[in-house]
Amino acid sequence: MKLYRINKVTKPGGVVVKKKDVLAASDSEAMQRAAESHDCPVCEILKDGRQVGAIV
């Protein structure tokens, strides 16, 4: 399991409104968990401080 941070943002590349840490086995699992979150209409998914995906 790896630690990912999901940042809820106002728009892609915008201001971070809320942060959430999740454990996932892969980048795709972290993306799926972010997509299923009600808090996440627009989110950026980060691993080790680097963006690995986004939900728009």
Reported as a single tens digit per residue, the pLDDT across 27-38 is 999 999 999 998
The candidate with the shortest Cα–Cα distance to 5, out of 14, 13, 31, 15, is 31
pLDDT for 54: 96
The answer to whether the predicted template modeling score (pTM) of the entire model surpasses 0.75 is yes
Sequence-distant (≥ 6) Cβ neighbours of residue 27 within 8 angstroms: 4, 45, 47, 52, 53
What's the confidence (pLDDT) of residue 39? Answer: 84
Distance CA 18, CA 15 (A): 9
pLDDT, position 18: 96
- The stretches in the chain having pLDDT less than 70 are none
Structure tokens at 40: 């996440």
